[in-house]
Amino acid sequence: MDTRRALLVDAFTTEPLAGNAAGVVPDADGLSVEQMQAVARELSVSETAFLRPSESADRRVRYFTPTQEVDLCGHATVAAHAHLSEEGVLDAGVHTLETNVGDLEIELTDDGVVWMTQSQPTVRPVDVDYERASEALGVPVESFRAVADELPAAVASTGLPFLVLGVDFLDAVGGATPDMGAVAALADEHDATGVYLFCFDTLDAESTLHARMFAPGAGVPEDPVTGTASGACGAYLEHVGAFDTLPDEMQFEQGEFVDRPGRVRVRVGDEVRVGGRAVTALDGTLVVPEIDTDEILEA
């Protein structure tokens, strides 16, 4: 059987077993979709990045949750490039990455921060039933309505679409008790991958906002720290005019309520960029079995 190196790398943190764990398979050349899906299911983290050769960029990546392929993943991108830097494969500078949404630029700084340029942002206002959102997320409806005029509901994307919902206080974010089936239905109704719940009430004085992200329809009930959704929210904040002058750099905090605290750096200008550090928590090998697609049962 085929044996490949596989790692768990914690992104948006400098402490192991914090932030958001991503699977990284640094040499996935030759693996089938079914094999990559099986590996992602075995590693059982929100996303696993599979690195492969590319004809248009420095390398190709495909991302899989435990249940399906997704087009883009910020934290797994940061994790993969932090690993390549640690291995001496990458030097500081700008590198290119082929993804399902196109070729993206990844910058590695001298001090170890990985910056990911995301896809061209889109923000689409949506009419959300706040009573339904309240029931789905387990958040008081008044918390949504208190900020609805300044922070209207929208689906924002920088590669993956997220339903962005603002609330008034940290208690509403931290106290959320989502009904995952209802959250999946709410996201699906608005053609979103997941729901990004946030407030400007933060734990750290230097943070811009605190967030949680739920994507049960994509096999991720709650993502500890979400790079792609942070980029989408950054684009959303610019779109709705949340600040008189948008800060040059914002810090989004996430993960405390699942004991995986992390920090995402977000820059919104001519393009949207998210950045952070990462640390390897587990490094080993994994046996990849041959998979006969004729034996795969469809539900």
Check whether residue 91 and residue 206 sit in a common domain. Answer: no
Check whether residue 259 and residue 285 sit in a common domain. Answer: no
Q: For 41-82, write each residue's pLDDT tens digit.
A: 999 999 999 999 999 999 999 999 999 999 999 999 999 999
Query: Is 296 part of any domain?
Result: no
| 3-class SS of residue 228 | helix
Check whether residue 188 and residue 253 sit in a common domain. Answer: yes
Query: Is 298 part of any domain?
Result: no
Check whether residue 43 and residue 161 sit in a common domain. Answer: no
CA 273 to chain centre: 13
Residue 174, pLDDT > 90, answer yes
Torsion of CA 84, 87, 90, 96, to 10 degrees: -20
Give dist(CA 83, CA 108) in Å, integer: 11
CA 279 to chain centre: 17
**What integer pLDDT is reported at residue 1 of this predicted model?**
77
Provide the domain count of the chain.
2
CB atoms inside a 10 Å sphere around CB 236: 29
Check whether residue 71 and residue 205 sit in a common domain. Answer: no
Question: Active-site residue among 15, 34, 42, 47?
Answer: 47
For the chain, count helices (H), then strands (E). 7, 18
Q: 271 catalytic, yes or no?
A: no
Domain of residue 14: give its range. Answer: 2-103+279-291
Check whether residue 266 and residue 286 sit in a common domain. Answer: no
Q: Indicate the pTM of the whole model.
A: 0.92
Give dist(CA 220, CA 196) in Å, integer: 13
Q: For 236-292, write each residue's pLDDT tens digit.
A: 999 999 999 999 999 999 999 999 999 999 999 999 999 999 999 999 999 998 987
**What integer pLDDT is reported at residue 220 of this predicted model?**
93
Check whether residue 133 and residue 260 sit in a common domain. Answer: yes
Residue 297, pLDDT > 90, answer no
Q: For 14-41, write each residue's pLDDT tens digit.
A: 999 999 999 999 999 999 999 999 999 9
CA distances from 31 to 53, 54, 72, 181 (A): 12, 14, 19, 32
Q: CB of 221 within 8 A of CB of 132?
A: no
Q: CB of 289 within 8 A of CB of 1?
A: yes
DSSP secondary structure letter of residue 201: -
Check whether residue 59 and residue 130 sit in a common domain. Answer: no
Query: Is 19 part of any domain?
Result: yes
Helices (H), the chain: 33-43, 74-86, 130-137, 141-145, 170-174, 180-189, 227-240
DSSP secondary structure letter of residue 88: T
**Domain at 58, CATH number:** 3.10.310.10
- Single-letter amino acid code for the residue at 240: V
Check whether residue 139 and residue 91 sit in a common domain. Answer: no
